[in-house]
Amino acid sequence: MEIEKPLEEESIFSGKIIRVSRYKVELSNGVRTTREVVRHPGAAAVLPYDHNTGKVYLVTQFRFPINQMLLEVPAGKLDVEGEDPLSCAKRELLEETGIEAGRFEYLGYIFTTPGFSDEKIHLFLATELKKAAELSTDEDELIDVVEADWEEFYRWCEEGRITDAKTLALALRSRKLIENLP
Amino acid sequence: MEIEKPLEEESIFSGKIIRVSRYKVELSNGVRTTREVVRHPGAAAVLPYDHNTGKVYLVTQFRFPINQMLLEVPAGKLDVEGEDPLSCAKRELLEETGIEAGRFEYLGYIFTTPGFSDEKIHLFLATELKKAAELSTDEDELIDVVEADWEEFYRWCEEGRITDAKTLALALRSRKLIENLP
């Protein structure tokens, strides 16, 4: 097991979402190099699935870094480091889609981009859905809800209409559960 | 379609892999806010599948940002912006696993973390594999090759032993192709 030993940290930036540092590190073979690291508080993502209708609920929003609209599962970052991912998942689902769920199945986590960031996203399948009150998204999030059949959604993941990594990961991890629901 | 209009860019950091900027932006509802953006050159990832044996080849390496070893498909960043993703995929496959492939199937791309980065990873399924010469990884990459049956690999993705987002995306996008190979 190779470990990279940090020798020195240079703190570069502390923003409202990310922190950036550059490290001098020594590898187990003695080579010294640098590593650039973007720290992120972590996030939770939810696939809401209505077993009665076979529908899933997605959101579409403008993503500034890539300058385009993106179709994704509802998700959001942990509000404080250490926030319970399930609480975060419930909150983001309600805020972004107006849906509450009676049941959340934890499907593990993913690292989105381990080469330069520690971002970890916890994945949930939400079922027993009910429409709650009106939407209450943050004022800097302009989000539309998109409804799709599960099979259609999965095909979008396979065929590349959906390109968001956490959404693909959730589709993969949900498939057997959804297709085997009684 | 909501667009966020950049009003001002503050360049924060330009490293060997990433560039970081903070933008003042105006949303279509008139709200002004900031966006933190990590620019990345993009990458290619490859799932090498040997149809004769049913094996896939993965790599395990220490990932400094998350301070742990990670099991992933072979991948690497585009060497210069605009490098052909297929050339990158071939190079990284050879460097990291010592494998050459007669056939590469393009499976589209993913955005790994569109909330704060523009990183885009192109996905390929590689078949008609042959072992080339010895490994030639970069001196700051210490990488081990891991061989697994396709079914076992897919189960690892579903059950959470594999947590790398691009690897899950490739597993999802490859499944039908692999399971329908003649």
Structural domain boundaries of chain B? 5-39, 43-179
The b/e string for A22-52 (b: 16+ C-beta within 10 A; e otherwise) is bbebebeeeeebbbbbbbbbbbbbbbbbbee
Nearest to A27 among B31, B33, B140 (CB): B140
CB contacts under 8 A, B 30-59 vs A, are 31, 33-40, 43
Give SS3 for B77: strand
Specify the pLDDT at position A79. Answer: 87
- Residue B169 CA to residue B179 CA, distance in Å, equals 16
pLDDT over 70 (residue A182): yes
Q: Give the ipTM.
A: 0.95
Specify the pLDDT at position A81. Answer: 63
Nearest-CA neighbor of A143 among A97, A101, A175, A112? Answer: A97
- Which residues does B17 contact at the CB level (< 8 Å), separation at least 6? A36, A115, A116, B40, B41, B77
Does B134 qualify as catalytic in the annotation?
Answer: no
User: Is the separation of the CB atoms in A129 and A101 below 8 Å?
Assistant: yes
Specify the pLDDT at position A132. Answer: 85
Query: What average pLDDT does this structure show over A97-111?
Result: 97
Q: What is the pLDDT of residues B136-173, one digit of tens each?
A: 666 666 789 999 999 999 999 999 999 999 999 999 99
Considering only CB atoms, which chain B residues are within 8 Å of A140? 27, 31, 33
Specify the pLDDT at position A159. Answer: 97
Nearest to B37 among A4, A65, A120 (CB): A65
Taking an 8 Å cut-off on Cβ atoms, the answer to whether A169 and B173 are in contact is: no
Specify the pLDDT at position A3. Answer: 84
- Which residues does B182 contact at the CB level (< 8 Å), separation at least 6? none
* Stated pTM of the model: 0.95
DSSP assigned state of A117: B
- Residue A84 CA to residue A170 CA, distance in Å, equals 19
* B21 has a chain A CB within 8 A of its CB: no
Taking an 8 Å cut-off on Cβ atoms, the answer to whether B114 and A164 are in contact is: yes
Taking an 8 Å cut-off on Cβ atoms, the answer to whether B139 and A29 are in contact is: yes
Which residue numbers in chain B have pLDDT < 70? 1-2, 81, 133-141
Of the options 3.30.70.20, 3.90.550.10, 3.40.47.10, 3.90.79.10, the CATH number for the domain spanning A43-179: 3.90.79.10
How far is the alpha carbon of A102 from chain B, nearest alpha carbon, in Å?
A: 23
Query: For a pLDDT cut of 90, what percent of chain A falls above it?
Result: 85
Give SS3 for B100: strand
pLDDT over 60 (residue A1): no
